[in-house]
Amino acid sequence: MTRSSHSAMRRRLLGAGLLAAAAHPLAVLAQDTWPAKPVRLIVPFPPGGPVDSTARIFSQRLGEIWKQPIVIDNRAGAGGTIGASIAAKEAPDGYTLFLGSIHHAVNPSLMGKLPYDIEKDFAPVSFAAMFPVFVVAHPSVPASNIKELIAYAKQPGRTLSYGSSGNGGGTHLAGELFNMEAGTKLQHVPYKGSGPAMNDLLGGQVQLMFSDAPTALQHIKTGRIKVLGVASRQRSGMLPDVPTVAESGLPGYEAYSWAALFAPAQTPKAVLDKINADFNVAMGDASVKQRLLQAGAEADPGTQAQMRQRLHAEIVKWGKVIKAAGITAG
């Protein structure tokens, strides 16, 4: 190779390297320079709910680690799809993140065509929190556990109703999954939120609820309702003496709500890796875990690969339930 051709090759290689760096500038020095400014976290629900509360709890600790503020941007509406649509279009530079929920695994089957694809338009960062679902009953229901509830519900001529936070929501789907796996015919009664549904359970207008923890815990502790089981795979630290549905009469049953951290697709891997590592440190903080428990959530971080697999499994699982039960939005 001549000196001139060798120099030409070096120029081409250098040019290619510069182009690659220009195309992915954060991939070069992300670990050292990111974040250099405040980070925006889009929460697709109103302030005060479980997903919003989770965001505010971990954001404080994560901001301390990054030495940058995390700005919560609530973009509520349409079952979380408005916030997701906004987040999907943001620059993939790590400075806009998105806290999705179980709604984003349900909406593709429930609503049909959406302006984004939760698997293709977002990069998974980590699951954040799990919100246990408790199976609770009015005191008039003569059952003290899941096995007794199933037997009672199957008695000839027996009709039991369960309230939910709304058609197609997580508490509705938990009930439909229960019907499918237990062979029961619990009648669904949708409400506009968990609060109104709980009010009617307390009054005996409905007999059951598959309730989120914040709505149910105070009434369980005062004895106004009774808890028959927790729907998650493992017992909850909130009520550790309450058995899971799976261990008390319905093997394999699992239902819970969740929140998970996403970034726009094409966010550089170095940035995603840093966010994931720091996020896991924040979620492992004892004070963060305690505050989440007090808010009705359990810290549930992990790897990007685990989140990707779990998200896909959730989409498939709830899609089958929605189809089998004939659930539609509205």
**pLDDT tens per residue, the chain (330 residues)?**
444 444 444 445 444 444 444 444 444 445 568 999 999 999 999 999 999 999 999 999 999 999 999 999 999 999 999 999 999 999 999 999 999 999 999 999 999 899 999 999 999 999 999 999 999 999 999 999 999 999 999 999 999 999 999 999 899 999 999 999 999 999 999 999 899 999 999 999 999 999 999 899 999 999 999 999 999 999 999 999 999 999 998 999 999 999 999 999 999 999 999 999 999 999 999 999 999 999 999 999 999 999 999 999 999 999 999 999 999 876
Same topology between domain 37-131+257-325 and domain 132-248: yes
Is the domain spanning 37-131+257-325 CATH 3.30.70.1230? The answer is no
**Chain centre distance of CA 188:** 23
Tokens standing for residue 310 = 């779990």
Q: What CATH topology corresponds to 132-248? A: D-Maltodextrin-Binding Protein; domain 2 (3.40.190)
In terms of Cα–Cα distance, which of 323, 328, 313 is closest to 177?
323
Residue ranges covered by each domain of the chain: 37-131+257-325, 132-248
Q: Do the Cβ atoms of 192 and 166 come closer than 8 Å?
A: yes
Q: Is 60 exposed, middle or buried (0-12, 13-18, 19+ CB in 10 A)?
A: middle
